[in-house]
Amino acid sequence: MERSTTGGTRQPLARSPTSPLLAAYWSFGQFWGVWVILVLESAAGPEGFSLVEEISDDPNAIAAVATVGYTGFVWSPPLLGWIADTVDPRAAMAVVVFATLGITATGLFAREKGTR
């Protein structure tokens, strides 16, 4: 897939390795990278649910955490891709940074107020 730059020339989005050895190494790295991410995500979900169960007595708390988590998991990639394509990739990363800071600040504020 190619993308047009401001100068009108067409450049490939990603370059594939040219040597067979480098191609095998590249594929091996991609495989293990995806595998590690999937294993970490599969362990984080149940751990988060058990943490919510220990902290809250509200029976709807786990449903709320699951809804927010899965909604973010489904909607974040297309939203960030749209922002990166429409504005700039740096703007998409800024959204991630500000969202992380906002979530952290909200958690710290809730802890100080005792509204856990």
**Domain regions of the chain by residue span:** 18-55, 59-116
Which of the four pLDDT bands, split at 50, 70 and 90, describes residue 41?
A: confident
Mean pLDDT of 41-54: 78
Q: Cα dist. 77→15, 73, 94, 95 in Å? A: 22, 7, 14, 12
Q: Cα dist. 53→8, 19, 25, 105, 111 in Å? A: 55, 52, 43, 22, 17
Least confident of 10-14, 51-55, 76-80: 10-14
* 72-111: pLDDT as tens digits: 888 888 999 999 999 999 999 999 999 989 988 887 887 6
Mean pLDDT of 54-64: 81
Mean pLDDT of 40-69: 80
Q: Where does 1-116 have alpha helices with state H? A: 20-55, 61-86, 89-113
